[in-house]
Amino acid sequence: MNEQFDMVVIGAGPAGEKAAAQAAYFGKHVAIVERERRLGGAAAQNGGVPTKTLREAALYVTGFRRREVYGVGLDIAPHEALKYLWSRVDEIVDTMTSSVSENIERHGIELIHGTAALTPQREVHVQCPDGSSRQLEGQAVLIATGSRPFHPAGVDFDDPDILDSESIIGLETPITGILVIGGGAIGCEYASIFAALGADVTLVDSGARLIPFMDAEISRVLKDNLGYIGVRVVLDAGRASVQRDHFGLAVTLASGEVLRPDKVLFAAGRAGNTQLLGLDGAGVKTDERGRIVVNHRFETTAPGIYAAGDVIGPPALASVSMEQGRVAACHAFNIPFKQTIDSQAPFGIYSIPEVAMVGMSEEAAAFQGLDYEVGRAWFARNTRANIVGATEGLVKLVFQRNDRSLLGVHIIGGGAAELIHQGQAVLRFGGDIDYFIHTTFNVPTESEAYKYAAYDGLQRLARMDAFMDA
């Protein structure tokens, strides 16, 4: 006999956990099916949390920041450093996965370990680890199975020296030389982390600039800063060919250059975990890239079946996935609580230095034909940034010329992922750059850069007006 629930969620990552908790909070009987032993999905186990923890641990263990500020660092044997790094990562991952488990238990959600698939009757069949099976039925079913690293054809990922963003977690031997393929968020993060650890790092990408959805100026500054910390960045590299010969790994670029790193890390995108879910039989449509097609309510093409998170494609951010799950649950049960996703969600890249953005880039404003201006404040002139030794980067504001309304904020610098939220708040409530002019910031703080970016923008307006009047 089928087990009856109000909602059955497949996947205990950010989208699945928050959707289940939202429905349970409003009194629904909910089950989550998760095939992995630890909860939290890729974000907690081998994506966002481990990468960010590794970054902070690397900066701390190596004394990376202190090298320039005080002329000293920490001289730790590579194997010992690696042991400290992974120990810290394991500690944080355990903390975060336990937090997910506690949240599920606190909301009275039934957790079922096993592999789920949809039946043609749109029920959820679960194959349990002990060989038994369960048949679940819900008024609503949410698919939130996340994503995995994309593996391009012709690359031997069975080779122990060819890694992806999952297999690199827990690497036991120190890396002396690594080639990172992919200039997106993951590629830039790992390239800078291993540079901080003292490895010889080359980052290659087939595109013309790093993180192409970011503001072009910010991308250029990031490229320059990666160069400062020792990363060789090769853009317009074409498709890299990776082979192994009797000398070791050989990576051939479109230019004909052959590179011979100790390790290769592929960080060129992710693919949704939709295989073996039985989507076709259940009437759930996917696009040409295998992403589940949903509407603004996160409903799929099959009645009663919803999807959220990485399986539906970009932006594939844990923060947005959580909101998608909550909104899907509210629509599934007509809960008048969260009906839409924030249209001004921020992006954060945890490279060294960090990069963050919210709203419109300068290129987007130009493409839309807007009469815009920009204001910049460089951290090299910021007192707090000089004190902590994080003088790279800037705060950049994009705003309308006629009423100075804020269009976008772009930051590269030590605390960019935190600083971006101040700009997000102003943008969210339709504010203008005058807010930063009239707001008193603590001194010294990096936040004060907002004020000077706004002043710079006003000066640019004044110079342009003077030029027009001349």
| Distance in angstroms between the alpha carbons of the first and the last residue of the chain | 84
Q: Summarize pLDDT for 386-443 with one digit per residue, the tens.
A: 988 889 999 999 999 999 999 999 999 989 999 999 999 999 999 999 999 999 999 9
Residue with tokens 């370990």: 113
Most trustworthy range by pLDDT among 50-54, 63-67, 135-139: 135-139
Q: If pLDDT is split at 50, 70 and 90, which confidence band does 65 have?
A: low
What is the distance between the alpha carbons of residues 464 and 415, in angstroms, rounded to a whole number? 32
Q: Matching CATH topology for 3-149+271-332 and 162-268? A: yes
Q: If pLDDT is split at 50, 70 and 90, which confidence band does 92 have?
A: confident
Instruction: Give the CATH H-level superfamily of domain 162-268.
Output: FAD/NAD(P)-binding domain (3.50.50.60)
> What percent of the chain lies above the pLDDT cut of 90?
65
Mean pLDDT of all residues in 252-264: 92
pLDDT for 215 equals 96
Q: If pLDDT is split at 50, 70 and 90, which confidence band does 56 have?
A: confident
Q: Cβ contacts of residue 462 below 8 Å, gap of 6+? A: none
Would the pLDDT of 80 be above 70? no
pLDDT for 64 equals 64
Q: Summarize pLDDT for 161-220 with one digit per residue, the tens.
A: 999 988 888 777 778 899 999 999 999 999 998 888 888 999 999 999 999 999 999 999
Q: Summarize pLDDT for 270-304 with one digit per residue, the tens.
A: 888 888 899 999 999 998 777 899 999 999 999 99
pLDDT for 468 equals 59
In this prediction the pTM is: 0.89
Q: What is the dihedral of CA 442, 446, 452, 457, to 10 degrees?
A: -130
H helices, E strands: number in the chain: 14, 22
Strand, helix or coil for residue 468? helix
Q: How far is CA 23 from CA 138, 298, 302, in A?
A: 12, 15, 20
Q: For the chain, give the number of residues.
A: 470
Q: Cβ contacts of residue 128 below 8 Å, gap of 6+? A: 112, 113, 114, 134
In this structure, what token pair is assigned to residue 61? Answer: 């263990």
Q: Summarize pLDDT for 139-168 with one digit per residue, the tens.
A: 999 999 988 888 888 888 999 999 998 888
Q: Buried (b) or exposed (e) across 195-205, using 16+ Cβ within 10 A?
A: bbbbbbbbbbb
Instruction: Judge contact between 330 and 28, C-beta under 8 A.
Output: no
In this structure, what token pair is assigned to residue 237? Answer: 């590299």
Instruction: Judge contact between 17 and 107, C-beta under 8 A.
Output: no
Average the pLDDT over each of 58-72, 111-125, 374-388, 394-408 and give the range with the smallest value: 58-72
Average the pLDDT over each of 47-51, 258-262, 384-388 and give the range with the smallest value: 47-51
Q: What is the dihedral of CA 58, 59, 63, 67, to 10 degrees?
A: 120
* Residues 24, 25, 26: CA angle, nearest 5 degrees: 90
Per-domain boundaries in the chain: 3-149+271-332, 162-268, 353-465
pLDDT for 347 equals 94
Q: Summarize pLDDT for 321-373 with one digit per residue, the tens.
A: 999 999 999 999 999 988 888 888 999 999 999 999 999 999 999 999 999 99
Most trustworthy range by pLDDT among 70-74, 121-125, 268-272: 121-125
CATH code 3.50.50.60 for 3-149+271-332: yes
Would the pLDDT of 73 be above 60? no
pLDDT for 450 equals 98
pLDDT for 69 equals 58
Q: Cβ contacts of residue 449 below 8 Å, gap of 6+? A: 377, 379, 382, 385, 394, 395, 419
Q: Which CATH number fits domain 353-465: 3.90.226.10, 3.30.70.20, 3.30.390.30, 3.40.640.10?
A: 3.30.390.30
pLDDT for 467 equals 57
Sequence letter at residue 335 = I
Mean pLDDT of all residues in 243-264: 91
- Average confidence score pLDDT of the chain: 89
Q: Which residue has the higher pLDDT, 33 or 41?
A: 33
Would the pLDDT of 77 be above 60? no
Identify the sign of the CA torsion 156, 148, 45, 55.
Answer: positive
